[in-house]
Amino acid sequence: MDPTESESGEHKTNDVPLHVPTYDKEPPRSDSLTYTQDVACGTISVPCTVTNQGKAVEKCIERHTSDSMFGLDIEWRPNRRKGEDNKTALLQISSPTECLLVQLLHIDYMPDSLKNFLKDPTNFFAGVGISEDDSKLARDHGLVCKSLVELKNYGGSSLSRVLSLKDLPRQVLYLSIPKNRDVTLSDWAQLHLTRQQVDYACMDTWISCAVYKELKKSP
């Protein structure tokens, strides 16, 4: 997630697609899952932990007690019928160097450290439509974030027309990030996420963190 200039002087992105890794094996298969997958995010490889175990969540949070900027996003099974409101299935949290995907519908227990981490006012969670995500997360699982950063507002008027997380890396990081609609609308509630789902979820959240970090540098 190097700019060039158009004739009008506006920044253009380099639309060379990101390297999409290939995999020889699927993730481990069991009811209790914790595994790590490296995901290509821009020019770096980000280790992404996928888990439904409270202990693994606690260990990951312990590694980031000195961080304060995070990307946050959620996913759920698509609502295909009128009035349907499927619960949040996946919580995605990313620092600049690591991503955590928590399978909330399959977790063995909800760690207090996760609750405290989210509501700690010194931890800032960035995203697009972050307030809506926070409200759904609270409604579905009682998890509340204290300090939210709406990226569309954070950058002032220059980002006011940004409609989705897909647009942000183009405008701020000068990167073109591929988005697969089939993955977007896939079953996020399933126990065994596909490699493509993990890539998508990690990249989405890492982008929010990377954009927030870049905007913080601006005067």
- Average of per-residue pLDDT values in the chain: 84
CATH number assigned to the domain comprising residue 181: 3.30.420.10
Q: What is the reported pTM?
A: 0.81
φ and ψ at residue 149, rounded to 5 degrees: -125, 110
Residue 45 has pLDDT above 60, yes or no: yes
**From the CB of residue 146, how many other CB atoms can be counted at a distance below 10 Å?**
13
Domain that holds residue 16: 4-217
Residue 216's alpha-carbon distances to 57, 90, 97, 125, 210, in angstroms, are: 27, 27, 17, 13, 10
Give residue 160's pLDDT band: very low, low, confident or very high (50, 70, 90): low
**From the CB of residue 196, how many other CB atoms can be counted at a distance below 10 Å?**
14
pLDDT at residue 4 in the model:
43
Give residue 159's pLDDT band: very low, low, confident or very high (50, 70, 90): low
Q: How many domains does the chain have?
A: 1
Strands 44-51 and 99-103, how do they pair? parallel
Q: Each residue of 180-196: pLDDT tens digit?
A: 889 999 999 999 999 99
Residue 166 has pLDDT above 70, yes or no: no
Mean pLDDT value of segment 116-130: 96
DSSP 187: -
Q: What does the alpha-carbon distance between residue 16 and residue 175 come to, in Å, rounded to a whole number?
A: 9
Residue 162 has pLDDT above 60, yes or no: no
